[in-house]
Structure 1
Amino acid sequence: MGNYDAVVVLSFGGPERPEDVLPFLENVVRGRGVPRERLLEVEAHYQSMGGASPINAQNRALVEELRKVLDLPVYWGNRNWHPFLEETVAQMKADGVRKAAAFATAATASYSSCRQYREDIARAAAAVPGGPELIKMRHFYDHPGFVAAMADRTRAALDEVGGEARLVFTAHSIPVSMAVSAGPQGNGYERQLREASALVAAEVGAGDFDLVWQSRSGPPHIPWLEPDVCDHLETLHAKGVESVVLVPIGFVSDHMEVLYDLDVEARNLADELGLRMARAGTAGTHPRFVEMIRDLVNEPEPTACPVTCCPAPARPRPQG
């Protein structure tokens, strides 16, 4: 064990009021050169869903479940919205925490799902001198607890469509250049997601499956991982597939991108095509997932990733 005296859940964060949506999105894309019109387009997605993301409420629920199985204080801090990690670390310092296990709500290697959380930890440490040491837990894409939770969610979706369906696993698309550099050996993001998908498919007795991508947000001239989930649904329909189960293997909670990209856009397309479609839930607060986090905290302290792993992507230079 790492001799921790607390646990902190690290997450992306999300707005909880309509007036918070645009400031939140500005935090997310700061320094990335995202066009204003794209930002307003995404804001409209949030506003169409009530002007709030469910991610914060889901993280609160996860924290409450963790407090039931851990004999340690459990905190929560975000990258892009309140409570910011810096705020949480300041509270941890005030509470006398010296060393904490940091569980990031992302299962795989990539800049945004791993290295950037390490940068968040470093930024919080700089903002709170003398604050606790935070040790990021390892990737968990292949942990039996995560696989079991996702298999349960997938079985429920298969039951919804009658038990026979093509399994289509989805994850957030990222630039190909970022995917290639993910993980110590490279290509870790796609490789880990494909392995997780295969493990879940095997658990539910599926002999075959697809891994596709969603939520692309970059400029069209930059290659991102493909195919997009909606394009793939059209391909399956053209091949005569009648039933599909979408499994958001790249997400651990039903936050805005899952709700909008799958439950709205993919659902609408499936209805137009006449495809029977069900969407599996995410791990969320599934008991096996909560137990998995407890197991990670009780493992020996993980070795930090090499500094060359999952490098930050090149950002466009400011114009003018």
Structure 2
Amino acid sequence: MGGPDSLDAIRPFLFNLFSDRYIIRLGPSFLQRPIAWLIAKKRAPKSAQNYELIGGKTPLTEITIEQAKLLEGRLNEELGPKYGEEFKCVVGMRYWHPRTPDVLKELKDTGVKKVLGLSLYPHYSRATSGSSIEEFKSCCDSLGLSWDVIDRFPTHPAYISALCEVLDEGQKKIGNKDFHLVYSAHSLPKKFIDEGDPYLEDINATIRALESQTGIKGTLSFQSRSGPVKWLEPQTDIHLLELVKSGKKRLLCLPISFVSDHIETLYEIDILFKSIVKEAGGELFKTPGLNTRPSFINALYELVVEKLGENKWLR
């Protein structure tokens, strides 16, 4: 999705986000943009307060650019000499800069002919991955670029290995004490799941794969809902309070659907949810983000190598 790179960018970022009918339908299509404008205007001041608490902007863009840089280096180091190819990894965001259409145009202008889209959503949903991938495909087609896509990786062994690593580090924060593990994922309107969206199925597949490796069982909840529709439940903040009330005072949260730290991990979990749990008499810990850790970059590398083998782009 991207995110605002300054406080001034918050309102236009929110407008771009809520203008997308892939994510949420705000009345008939001709009213989508006017309603999105009103929502952005109303939400921007509150969002700005939250962003100020994490440095005045999202760190997601810088993290993603660094992920791309590290992946590019690995590809050129290990595959470049073998195939005589130069790999270029760039970042294209859906709702804020660097925007996917602009990035693809720049690649075209430099002579690139084939583009592999790597979605950084581990779990597919038409509201997130789907919207971004459709824009990517459309732009490639209009520019005459050959394309392929890695649209999800919920159970890829290298990705699961990276999650095991952050979970282990999260446990070490708590020490040798009992805790309850909570998987927190970005929420989705329940209607999407009822209509066949695979998001929840992908999330549960990741959890099953992770738990088969660690032997640690957890519970799933959802954060970051918005709008007057029925969303997936339980809501993370409510779930955390219910756990504390049931006697589970020490909680470890693993943000299961996020591969980079941003407002939902650094503000919602680290600040808002932590304060709510503390006030209720509990203690909330969070696993580190995947971000640019070598095990996650290795997962991205393996995903790309496998796809390049499938589509026979390297010979």
TM-score bucket (shorter structure): 0.7 to 0.9
What letter matches 1:29 in structure 2?
Answer: F
**Are 2:144 and 1:134 equivalent residues in the alignment?**
no
**1:61-88 Cα deviation digits (max 9, x unpaired):** 1012102211211111111111111111
What letter matches 1:191 in structure 2?
Answer: E
- CA distance in 1 between partners of 2:237 and 2:267 (Å): 12
Q: The residue matched to 1:101 in structure 2 has which SS?
A: strand
- Find the counterpart in structure 1 of residue 31 from structure 2: none
- Find the counterpart in structure 1 of residue 130 from structure 2: 115
**Quick one: which of 267, 273, 277 aligns to 1:270?**
277
**Are 2:37 and 1:37 equivalent residues in the alignment?**
no
Contact 1:107 1:113 in 2 (8 A): no
Number of corresponding residues = 283
1:8-87 alignment runs, 5 A limit: 12-30=1-19, 32=26, 33-34=35-36, 35=39, 36-71=41-76, 72-87=87-102
**Quick one: which of 94, 98, 101 aligns to 2:116?**
101
* Higher RCO (CA-CA < 8 Å; seq separation 6+): 1
**Quick one: which of 193, 196, 200 aligns to 1:190?**
200
- CA distance in 2 between partners of 1:158 and 1:276 (Å): 13
Q: The residue matched to 1:100 in structure 2 has which SS?
A: strand
- Find the counterpart in structure 2 of residue 174 from structure 1: 188
- Find the counterpart in structure 2 of residue 155 from structure 1: 168
Distance 1:96 1:113, change over 3 A: same
- CA distance in 2 between partners of 1:90 and 1:169 (Å): 38
What letter matches 2:16 in structure 1?
Answer: N
- Find the counterpart in structure 2 of residue 315 from structure 1: none
What letter matches 1:30 in structure 2?
Answer: S
**1:120-143 Cα deviation digits (max 9, x unpaired):** 1134236x533x223111411111
**1:179-232 Cα deviation digits (max 9, x unpaired):** 233xxxx352112111212322333331x210100011121xx21001111101
- Find the counterpart in structure 1 of residue 222 from structure 2: 213
- Find the counterpart in structure 2 of residue 313 from structure 1: none
**Quick one: which of 280, 285, 310 aligns to 2:287?**
280
- CA distance in 2 between partners of 1:279 and 1:43 (Å): 23
Q: The residue matched to 1:78 in structure 2 has which SS?
A: coil
- How far the C-alpha of 1:99 sits from its partner, in A, is 0.9
Q: The residue matched to 1:70 in structure 2 has which SS?
A: helix
- CA distance in 2 between partners of 1:106 and 1:271 (Å): 31
Contact 1:14 1:24 in 2 (8 A): yes
- Find the counterpart in structure 2 of residue 308 from structure 1: none
**Quick one: which of 227, 249, 254 aligns to 1:247?**
254
What letter matches 1:46 in structure 2?
Answer: Y
Q: Provide structure 2 residue ranges, at least 5 long, that are not aligned to the other structure.
A: 21-25, 27-34, 77-86
Please identify runs of 4+ aligned residues in structure 1 that moved more than 6 A.
none
Contact 2:164 2:213 in 1 (8 A): yes
- CA distance in 2 between partners of 1:66 and 1:99 (Å): 17
Contact 1:161 1:276 in 2 (8 A): no
- How far the C-alpha of 1:39 sits from its partner, in A, is 4.5
RMSD: 1.9
- How far the C-alpha of 1:282 sits from its partner, in A, is 2.5
Pick the structure with more helix per residue. Answer: 2
Q: Provide structure 1 residue ranges, at least 5 long, that are not aligned to the other structure.
A: 1-11, 304-320
- How far the C-alpha of 1:16 sits from its partner, in A, is 1.5
- CA distance in 2 between partners of 1:123 and 1:257 (Å): 29
TM-score w.r.t. length of structure 2: 0.84
What letter matches 1:86 in structure 2?
Answer: P
Identity of aligned residues (%): 26
